[in-house]
Structure 1
Amino acid sequence: MVFAHDTETALLAAVELANSELEPDTLTRVADLDAFYERHQYTGAHERTTAELDAVRALRGDLRALLTCTRDEAVATVNTMLTEAQAVPQLIRHGDLDWHIHAVAISEPLDVRIVVETAMAMVDVIRADEMSRLAVCADEDCDGVVLDLSRNRSRKFCSTTCGNRNAVAAYRARQSG
């Protein structure tokens, strides 16, 4: 394990959210947000409204910028995110999850909690000097964010689709050459 469970969970959610605006957009309905909320084990307030969906969708560009910037840029962004949210980290245990960090109340809007959880996860990434675990997809036709949690740092593509497309292209190039 590269990071603590809550850090990995927050990073995976942030990457999925950032990549959801790529074609096809995978976060267009409240039902899509409901599935995202469940898949990434969020807790607390979830209004299930179009306004909440719009607020979460509005985060995508900023999250993409954070996940693909330099370490120094990430420090400045994370500090701003935490300050604006008035984050106060506390250890919390609930459900099946052991002690982990929440930095805003679970009553805060979902978009605020996503920002703070992502910022807290990035604190771990920055402190561990692991920014290289975040990159842009190696597929020349894709701008997806890649989170590489592999032991040997070998993940280059944001999805199986991009990886397969490149493997097929490489195979065809070898066969024609």
Structure 2
Amino acid sequence: MDIAAYAQTAVDLVNARLGSDDDLRAYLAPRSWLTERVRAGDLAEIQEFRARLGEMADASAAGDGPAAVASLNELLVKHPIRPVISGHDESSWHLHVHDKTGSVVETVCAEACFGLAMLVAEHGPTRIGRCAATDCDNAFIDTSVNRSRRFCSTRCSTRMNVAALRRRKQAAKLAAGQTD
């Protein structure tokens, strides 16, 4: 079991654009065994769960630990985790957060809730941020020592840093009386 991957699953779900069943299948594509089990109605349930995860992420990003924990606890009650031990041979025992009979919704929700619960328990409730880049509101996990992460990706960071550099150069030109 990769706990960090489960937490990242939750953040990826917050950031996912899920407008159709095809979008849901594309989101699940890396796990074909889940994609094959998508049923009518799964999209609506995942969208509702995604919205609630977004509320938890917003509380975390705002530094409101008690609200983030309360939101996560509500999700844990609504989407219980049913752990099972699984293995493919005698040396590969590992934990799954839901049994094989679980629906797509039950499995995805259990993974996300478990990952976030472990993240909060290990790093605190305010380790999910929202991207500071213009035109981006993606969520991200910040496990930096000083909680300094501001962007969801290198792309957003670079884009904002280049824009800031261009503004400084333009301001310096204007201050020097230069025009293009």
- TM-score category of the 2 structures, normalised to the smaller one: 0.7 to 0.9
Contact 1:45 / 1:107 at 8 angstroms: preserved in 2? no
Query: In the alignment, residue 157 of structure 1 is paired with which amino acid?
Result: F
Alpha-carbon distance in 2 for matches of 1:131, 1:43: 32
Query: What does the per-residue CA deviation read over 1:58-89, in whole Å, with 9 as the maximum and x for residues that have no partner?
Result: 32211111223233233333333233334333
Alignment counterpart, residue 52 of structure 1, candidates 15, 37, 42: 42
Residue 169 of structure 1: how far off its partner (Å) = 1.0
- Aligned pair 1:33/2:28, yes or no? no
In the alignment, structure 2 segments of 5+ residues that lack a partner are 173-180
RMSD: 3.1
Distance 1:123 1:42, change over 3 A: farther
Distance 1:72 1:90, change over 3 A: farther
Alignment counterpart, residue 63 of structure 1, candidates 53, 68, 84: 53
- Aligned pair 1:7/2:3, yes or no? yes
Alpha-carbon distance in 2 for matches of 1:143, 1:130: 21
TM-score (norm 1): 0.73
In the alignment, structure 1 segments of 5+ residues that lack a partner are 21-25
Query: In the alignment, residue 113 of structure 1 is paired with which amino acid?
Result: T
Alignment counterpart, residue 151 of structure 2, candidates 150, 157, 160: 157
TM-score (norm 2): 0.72
Which residue is equivalent to 2:102?
108
Contact 1:44 / 1:106 at 8 angstroms: preserved in 2? no
Aligned residue for 1:27, secondary structure, equals coil
Which residue is equivalent to 1:123?
117
Alpha-carbon distance in 1 for matches of 2:164, 2:156: 12
Contact 2:134 / 2:160 at 8 angstroms: preserved in 1? no
Aligned residue for 1:91, secondary structure, equals strand
Contact 1:45 / 1:108 at 8 angstroms: preserved in 2? no
Q: Percent identity?
A: 26
Residue 27 of structure 1: how far off its partner (Å) = 2.4
How many residues end up aligned between the 2 structures? 166
